[in-house]
């Protein structure tokens, strides 16, 4: 385990024995507190060590986890926000070149002066959080069991630039439906992991953490938690993971639900051309490829180079994400119409504090070109299309790809970050669709 730790992220940990470390971790409740003995990388020897956030080493046990970001890290963030050097306003009057300068400055000012990470931290720490090692990597997850014994276990997977933050508001309604306008037989046991390289999960030190491997890790997690029958849900990368769980027929998986299904028309194009019903989605694909996928292109090819600016500049990290809150959520031009500033900043701050710009981009390097192809699935699939998303494929493609498509609904409100934008509608979709699976 010591070797494992030393290979990790260039931070050398003075572990003398596993038992000693675990004792320390237990004493601190596995908190993410900086250990005084950590030595940063050589070039940073003069830098402020207290800014670093360290995750306690994970083991095959399921260990309680608490978030505690050192105050020094929060102070460092504020200092950086106060010293931002801005680009020029440029030539665009809209979002066509990216986040307009005025909107960027507005968000940063809010982040610097009003936003309070400790609120988000308290919310997280009010939930049961854990870490456990699977396939050599430590994974963070939230696990909330319903009081209803027959609740259906569900694993919810976020995407990029999302996080577990997206699901916090749906946990209560899913787990405790009778307190949230639902019925006891609609209850779920909820598991919400962070993807490798995101949030409080570890960052892989070796290549190979592609979507199929993550899918297997999720299956191992559910098994470790004692679930022999469960469902999986996801959008964005989470849809990819959930799809691969279904594709690989991982043990225990009964069905999946997707809010951004990875659907393309089956090749080749039909002789008469595509139908009218398919045209809008084809246009969306063309627009994404031509104008909306620059971020994916750089993340899929040079995540490390991109990572330097994002790791070193909180405004850089923020705008990299904020742009997608505007582009992909259901709004009329301003992302605040769809997602509150606090929620956006909770998510952005999580990326910033965990220094996961490069590691989260690396999932694209691993999988974007290889694991997002059209994938026929024979396990039961449910789909909710939130009409404000940037890609809303037609049911025809679902019928052509999922042999057991048992639920398809088009939700008029909400977009890419469905659970965050429309928690009630999202919960309703899961209740309705999975009623058939219980």
The interface with other proteins within residues 103-132 (CB under 8 A) comprises: 104-106, 108-109, 112
**43-62 mask for other proteins (x: CB under 8 A)?**
xx-xxx--x-----------
> Which helix (H) or strand (E) covers residue 211, if one does?
helix 211-224
Q: Does 31 bind other proteins (CB under 8 A)?
A: no
CB of 198 to other proteins, least distance (A): 13
Nearer to other proteins, 106 or 337 (CB): 106
**CA-CA-CA-CA torsion sign (173, 218, 389, 119):** positive
Of 366-425, which residues contact other proteins (CB under 8 A)?
369
Q: Does 22 bind other proteins (CB under 8 A)?
A: no
Site residue total, other proteins (CB under 8 A): 80
Count CB atoms within 10 A of the CB of residue 89: 12
Q: Are 45 and 279 in contact (CB under 8 A)?
A: no
Q: What is the 3-state secondary structure (H, E, C) of 64-87?
A: ECCCCCCHHHHHHHHHHHHCCCCC
Nearer to other proteins, 269 or 412 (CB): 269
Nearer to other proteins, 36 or 102 (CB): 102
Q: Does 83 bind other proteins (CB under 8 A)?
A: yes
Q: Are 66 and 29 in contact (CB under 8 A)?
A: yes
Count CB atoms within 10 A of the CB of residue 409: 15
**CA-CA-CA-CA torsion sign (186, 242, 263, 397):** negative
**206-245 mask for other proteins (x: CB under 8 A)?**
xx--------------------------------------
Instruction: Pull the structure tokens for residue 314.
Output: 């909180």
Q: Does 347 bind other proteins (CB under 8 A)?
A: no
Strand partners, 161: none
Q: Does 71 bind other proteins (CB under 8 A)?
A: no
Count CB atoms within 10 A of the CB of residue 135: 14
Q: Does 312 bind other proteins (CB under 8 A)?
A: yes
Q: Does 182 bind other proteins (CB under 8 A)?
A: no
Q: Does 432 bind other proteins (CB under 8 A)?
A: no
Nearer to other proteins, 139 or 167 (CB): 139
Of 317-346, which residues contact other proteins (CB under 8 A)?
317-320, 323
How far apart (Å, rounded) are the C-alpha atoms in residues 51 and 125?
20
Among 3, 93, 179, 276, binds other proteins (CB under 8 A): 93
Q: Does 294 bind other proteins (CB under 8 A)?
A: yes
Nearer to other proteins, 293 or 409 (CB): 293
Nearer to other proteins, 181 or 308 (CB): 308
Query: Which range binds other proteins by CB under 8 A, 163-171, 267-275, 358-366, 381-389?
Result: 358-366
SS3 251: coil
How far apart (Å, rounded) are the C-alpha atoms in residues 40 and 138?
21
Of 109, 399, 87, the C-alpha closest to 265 is 399
Cα 256 → chain centroid = 17
Among 26, 92, 184, 435, binds other proteins (CB under 8 A): 92
Which residue, chain included where needed, has tokens 């694209």? 364
CB of 400 to other proteins, least distance (A): 21
How far apart (Å, rounded) are the C-alpha atoms in residues 326 and 106?
14
């Amino acid at each position: 385990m010591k070797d494992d730790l030393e290979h990790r992220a260039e931070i050398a940990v003075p572990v003398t024995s596993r038992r000693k470390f675990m004792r320390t971790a237990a004493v601190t409740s596995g908190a993410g507190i900086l250990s005084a003995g950590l030595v940063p990388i050589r070039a940073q020897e003069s830098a402020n060590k207290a800014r670093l956030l360290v995750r306690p080493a994970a083991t095959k046990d399921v260990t309680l986890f608490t978030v505690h970001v050192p105050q020094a890290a929060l102070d460092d963030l504020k200092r950086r926000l106060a010293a931002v050097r801005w680009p020029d306003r440029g030539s665009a009057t809209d979002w066509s070149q990216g986040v307009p300068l005025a909107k960027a400055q507005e968000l940063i000012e809010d982040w610097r002066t009003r936003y309070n990470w400790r609120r988000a931290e308290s919310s997280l720490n009010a939930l049961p959080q854990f870490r456990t090692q699977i396939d050599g990597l430590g994974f963070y997850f939230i696990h909330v069991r319903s009081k209803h014994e027959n609740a259906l276990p569900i694993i919810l997977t976020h995407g990029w630039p999302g996080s577990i933050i997206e699901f916090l508001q749906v946990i209560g309604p899913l787990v405790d439906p009778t307190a949230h306008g639902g019925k006891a037989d609609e209850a779920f046991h909820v598991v919400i992991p962070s993807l490798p390289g995101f949030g409080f999960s570890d960052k892989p030190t070796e290549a190979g953490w592609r979507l199929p491997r993550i899918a297997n890790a999720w299956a191992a997690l559910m098994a470790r938690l004692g679930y022999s029958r469960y469902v999986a849900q996801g959008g964005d990368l989470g849809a990819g993971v959930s799809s691969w769980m279904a594709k690989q027929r991982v043990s225990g998986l009964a069905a999946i639900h997707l809010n951004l299904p990875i659907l393309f028309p089956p090749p080749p194009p039909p002789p008469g051309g595509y139908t009218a019903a398919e045209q809008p989605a084809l246009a969306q694909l063309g627009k994404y490829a031509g104008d909306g996928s620059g971020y994916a292109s750089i993340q899929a090819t040079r995540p490390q180079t991109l990572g330097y600016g994002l790791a070193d500049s909180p405004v850089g990290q923020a705008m990299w994400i904020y742009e997608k809150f505007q582009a992909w959520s259901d709004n009329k031009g301003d992302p605040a119409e769809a997602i509150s500033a606090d929620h956006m900043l909770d998510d952005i701050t999580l990326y910033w504090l965990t220094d996961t710009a490069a590691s989260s981009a690396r999932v694209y390097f691993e999988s974007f070109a290889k694991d997002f192809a059209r994938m026929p699935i024979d396990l039961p699939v449910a789909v909710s299309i939130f009409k404000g998303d940037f890609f809303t494929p037609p049911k025809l493609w679902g019928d052509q790809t999922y042999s057991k498509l048992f639920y398809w609904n088009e939700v008029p409100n909400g977009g890419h970050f469905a659970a965050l934008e429309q928690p009630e509608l999202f919960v309703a979709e899961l209740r309705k669709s999975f009623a058939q699976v219980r």
